[in-house]
Structure 1
């Protein structure tokens, strides 16, 4: 092993809902508390989404975002990674990012049919407290959802974040997205190493099978060389296996309540920290070492801690 393995914790996300688990954080203070707990357990990066404090629906409003990011920075030196996935335009998607200036912002680099109805099945959700949850996962148009990440939006987001000097994590749901990223980077200079996240296991994208993970890794090496920091995670109950498969290929990894709520059939994870502790235990049993925050900053060339 040439480097320690960076653990990202995806704390809450926008696809799983409060009715699925009492341990899914959605109020800003709960997101802060679980983020700090995950960092104390060994996560060097906190991947964040914002939620409406009234009912837990996903939002890009600056109020919840500010409460979350400021609260984490006051209590932890972990690397803050803000998702920039909500909004009709590129400028809307990065609005909160530009206001709060995290060390990393996430850019999704491709569109796809998004079978989010499968998440309800995978996470065993049958009853919903809030109408928005039912509409999201079982509404009349749930089989008509296409995530819109066009060449124009992607290029605009990359240009904005280059100008703002904010590092980017490029989320790839399928192998074709790597070729889309290659197209955009052929005419742009971005920070190195490239931070690439293999987001696998969502119906509509690539699965978490090991042969697909290997193909993704080989494609990254062919297109971008080894000057990349690659992360692997799976969606649903196979997320731990996907993460460890990534580690065995030499990538970093991601776990967290955004991606999966169940430790095993019928048993919910009690927190994000519990997921980080489990993956650390498995890594240790395989003689891998997790990266401390300072090491993750060095590996990703992020410099010192961001100012609060």
Structure 2
């Protein structure tokens, strides 16, 4: 068990959650403010999607990312910025013609997915390491696309977080590392409990962490009611953690949460297990990150 744990807060995500919890942040100001509150509650890293301020739905607009990032960078409270670059992967076959995408399909090329990272040079960004069934939708991540994407991230100098929703994703992330498309020590995020990917339980986590290179660092999260149990399990198995409204809307049954409340609750679990939370400065040293303006720390 590590004495220092990195805690990510996934602030808003891309799902249809804004009608279910009014504290899911939507505008760049709301997302930035939520990141700052999460940082004050103890979060090390802010994982950021953006939403259309008018509709609340997922957006890929670089200007929305820019405003959000600038607001966080200008704040007095420090937190590491981790931008999603896994957007634009949703494929829903059309009922009329299953060879074409139907309503809900949203596909971006690797170059389009990478655009906010290229423009803003955050300290970290995600790479989703394969295709997966995501409920009744397919998340599309062909391996040649992922190689192109990994190379662009590598060239940017930004640290990739390798998001693995199933065991095959871990295998492919290892392949990226073996092919020289990842610099430094790999950083894995095990995304557990999403239908129909890897299960959110101790056995699955133990297996996935056993399959990464020895010099890797890893975190995991569970969705919904498994968010806090997986915080505890990750700490007990020597990893890092993620919480936030992207993955879970409730503080407890029947009580809606804010991001800072989820961070505070997770911090209590971490500390009760004898560990503590890394500061952003400590995590930058641990991960050899760029600073927020694209230079080495």
TM-score (norm 1): 0.86
Tell me the equivalent position of 1:272.
259
Task: Tell me, in whole angstroms, the C-alpha distance in 2 between the residues paired with 1:173 and 1:148.
Answer: 12
Give the number of equivalent residue pairs.
Answer: 275
1:214 is the counterpart of 2:206: yes
Q: Distance in 2 between matches of 1:279 and 1:19?
A: 25
Distance 2:223 2:119 in 1: 30
2: CA distance, partners of 1:157 / 1:243: 29
Structure 2, unmatched stretches of 5+, are 89-107
* d(CA) in 2 for partners of 1:242, 1:264: 15
* 1:21-58 Cα shifts (integer Å, max 9, x gaps): 01111111111111100011111100000101111110
Matches for 1:145-160 after TM superposition, within 5 Å: 145-160=137-152
Partner of 1:4: 4
1:16–1:258 contact (8 Å) kept in structure 2 = no
For the Cα contact (< 8 Å) 2:185–2:217, is it kept in 1?
yes
Q: Hey, what does 1:128 align to over in structure 2?
A: none
Question: Comparing 10-19 with 246-255, which one deviates more in the overlay?
Answer: 10-19
1:97 correspondence with 2:89 = no
Equivalents in 1 of 2:291, 2:61: separation in Å?
A: 28
Q: Distance in 2 between matches of 1:9 and 1:252?
A: 12
Give ranges in structure 1 of 5+ residues lacking alignment.
Answer: 116-142
CA distance in 1, matches of 2:46, 2:86: 16
| Backbone CA RMSD of aligned residues | 1.5
The 5 A counterparts of 1:1-308 are 1-75=1-75, 76-87=77-88, 88-115=108-135, 143=136, 145-220=137-212, 224-225=213-214, 227-269=215-257, 271-302=258-289, 304-306=291-293
Whole-angstrom distance in 2 between the partners of 1:159 and 1:304: 20
Alignment check: 8 A CA contact 1:193 1:301 kept: no
Structure richer in helix, relative to its length: 1
User: What is the SS of the residue equivalent to 2:125?
Assistant: strand
Kept in 2: contact 1:192–1:228 (CA 8 A): no
TM-score for the superposition, normalised by structure 2: 0.89
In 2, the alpha carbon distance for the partners of 1:90 and 1:182 equals: 19
User: Per-residue displacement from partner, 1:91-124 (whole Å, max 9, x unpaired)?
Assistant: 0100111111101110000101110xxxxxxxxx
How big is the shift at 1:77? 2.4
Question: Aligned partners of 2:121 and 2:236: how far apart in 1?
Answer: 33
1:268-300 Cα distance to aligned partner (Å, 9 max, x none)? 11x111111111111111211111111111111
